[in-house]
Amino acid sequence: MRQSLVDHGLRLVAGGYVVGADGNLSVRDGEGLLITPSRVAYDRLQPGQVVRLDLAGAGDPSRSSEWAVHCAVYRSRPEVRAVIHAHPVFACVLAVRGEVLEALLDEVGPVLGGPVAVADYAPSGSAELAAAAVAGLGSRHAVILANHGTVTVGVDLEEAFYRLQVLERAAQVQVLR
66 in catalytic set: yes
Q: Residue 168, Cβ neighbours under 10 Å: how many?
A: 22
Residue 87 has pLDDT above 90, yes or no: yes
**Catalytic, out of 31, 66, 79, 99:** 66
Say what the pTM is.
Answer: 0.97
- Per-residue pLDDT tens digits for 89-120: 999 999 999 999 999 999 999 999 999 999 99
Q: How does DSSP assign 43-111, residue by residue?
A: TT--GGG-EEEETT--B-TTB-TTHHHHHHHHHH-TT--EEEEE--HHHHHHHHHT--B---STTHHHH
Find the CATH number of the domain harbouring 124. Answer: 3.40.225.10
Q: How many domains does the chain have?
A: 1
Tell me the mean pLDDT in the region 63-83.
97
What pLDDT sits at residue 131? 98
Domain that holds residue 99: 2-176
